[in-house]
Amino acid sequence: MKKLIRNLLLVLLLAVFLVPASEADAAYYCVPWGKVYLGEPFTYFEMPDIYNQIWVSSYLRGKPVIILTAHRYQRYEVLKWAESFRQDFAANDKAYVLWVVNLNKFPWTTSRETIVNQWRYFNPPVPMLLDWNGVIGKSLKINYNIPNIIVLDAYGRLVMHEMHSYTPDVYRAVANRIRWFLPRRVGSSGKVGYSM
């Protein structure tokens, strides 16, 4: 009898530790973490930003999504990209521009509250999402040593993933490529063009 009770308690204890605590955790554990290729639907994500607003990938539809990510030591380089993309795409509501910070392997001696406060103090010009599970990095096998520019189209498909250091010329080239993914509009002459 004691052995049966002990085994039942052990099973219950394992169930408590192995069952995801929320829907976000359940989605995280169900993802196969295979690399996403161009043209494929991007991995579902649900992440808080530094002000505790939750961003859900399936709600970001109707316009392109530009995701910036890199190692925290690259933050000033990513900041240049974020400011430029904000001016050209987010300020006039042509695209979502998000900065995603991978916090999957932050130092165990640092609390989450401290990390969030440090990024709030940094005051990024675009929404900064906290990727506690490394969803973006695992989906694209990202090299965080250089800024990554990831673009999803209006339907959530991966259409671009490039890595560049910031220069005005490189920014112009990347921005021109992103303009091809903006929603089309029909002009008064009946010709189809892109929003500029």
DSSP 110-174: S-HHHHHHHHHHH--SS-EEEETT-HHHHHHT--TTS-EEEEE-TTSBEEEEEE----HHHHHHH
Q: How far apart are CA 24 and CA 92, in angstroms?
A: 31
Confidence of residue 60 (pLDDT cuts 50, 70, 90): confident
The helix/strand/coil state of 54 is strand
Q: Per residue in 70-128, pLDDT tens?
A: 998 999 999 999 999 999 998 888 889 999 998 887 777 778 888 888 888 998 999 99
For residue 134, the model assigns a pLDDT of: 87
Residues 6+ apart with CB under 8 A from 124: 50, 79, 82, 99
Domains assigned to the chain: 32-182 (3.40.30.10)
Query: Looking at residue 195, what is its pLDDT?
Result: 46
Torsion of CA 68, 69, 74, 79, to 10 degrees: 30
Q: Under the phi-then-psi rule, with left for phi > 0, alpha for psi from -120 to 50, and beta for the rest, what region is 115?
A: alpha
Inter-residue contact 82 to 124 (CB < 8 Å): yes
Kindly report, residue by residue over 7-54, the tens digit of the pLDDT. Answer: 766 666 555 555 554 444 444 444 455 788 888 999 898 999 999 999
Tell me how long the chain is.
196
Is 190 or 148 the better-scoring residue by pLDDT? Answer: 148
Phi-psi region of 128 (alpha: psi -120 to 50; beta: other; left: phi over 0): beta
DSSP single-letter state for residue 34: P
